[in-house]
Amino acid sequence: MKRKILIVDDEEYLRILLKDNLEIEGFEVIATATGKEALEVAWKVLPDLAIIDIGLPDINGWEVCQRLQQDFRTADLPLVILTAEASGKVTAQMKELGLKHYVPKPYHPIDIVGFLKKILNISKT
């Protein structure tokens, strides 16, 4: 069974690039551009992991994370923050929300794939 990953990023080229790289590695990927759509998809599809950009056009990524954490269907979903914001601000907000995983922009898609595999405990077999 393929692991499902939800990507939430309003930057289309980054969303497509990451989606393509994850699909090549055998993941099922659902990609959205808004926080509202991400919540709807997450609660319907129940992904194994979500990558969430902070700067979304409607609901910011922090609020998306909070809502996912508060819903019993997605409370244990591993969340990875994706942002170009200053790391000190990000670290403080992550601590407040109890989040563990952060990827700064810019990033290399291959590096992110390896990082996500570690989070999901997938070996290089």
Instruction: Let me know if residue 62 belongs to a domain.
Output: yes
pLDDT of residue 107: 82
Instruction: Let me know if residue 76 belongs to a domain.
Output: yes
pLDDT of residue 72: 97
Per the CB < 8 A criterion, the answer to whether 45 and 2 are in contact is: no
pLDDT of residue 123: 55
pLDDT of residue 125: 42
Instruction: Let me know if residue 86 belongs to a domain.
Output: yes
Domain count for the chain: 1
Instruction: Let me know if residue 52 belongs to a domain.
Output: yes
pLDDT of residue 89: 78
Ordered mean pLDDT values, 10 residues apiece, the chain (125 residues): 94 93 96 98 98 94 96 96 79 85 82 91 62
- Domain residue limits at 47: 4-119
**How would DSSP label each residue in 40-56?**
HHHHHH--SEEEEES--
**How would DSSP label each residue in 61-108?**
HHHHHHHHHHSTTTTT--EEEEE-S-HHHHHHHHHHHT--EEEESS--
pLDDT of residue 86: 66
Q: What is the CA radius of gyration of the chain?
A: 13
Instruction: Let me know if residue 113 belongs to a domain.
Output: yes
CATH number at residue 86: 3.40.50.2300
Query: For residue 47, which of 123, 125, 124, 120 has the smallest C-alpha distance?
Result: 120
Instruction: Let me know if residue 125 belongs to a domain.
Output: no
Query: For residue 18, which of 115, 108, 120 has the smallest C-alpha distance?
Result: 108
Per the CB < 8 A criterion, the answer to whether 30 and 6 are in contact is: yes
Instruction: Let me know if residue 124 belongs to a domain.
Output: no
Instruction: Let me know if residue 115 belongs to a domain.
Output: yes
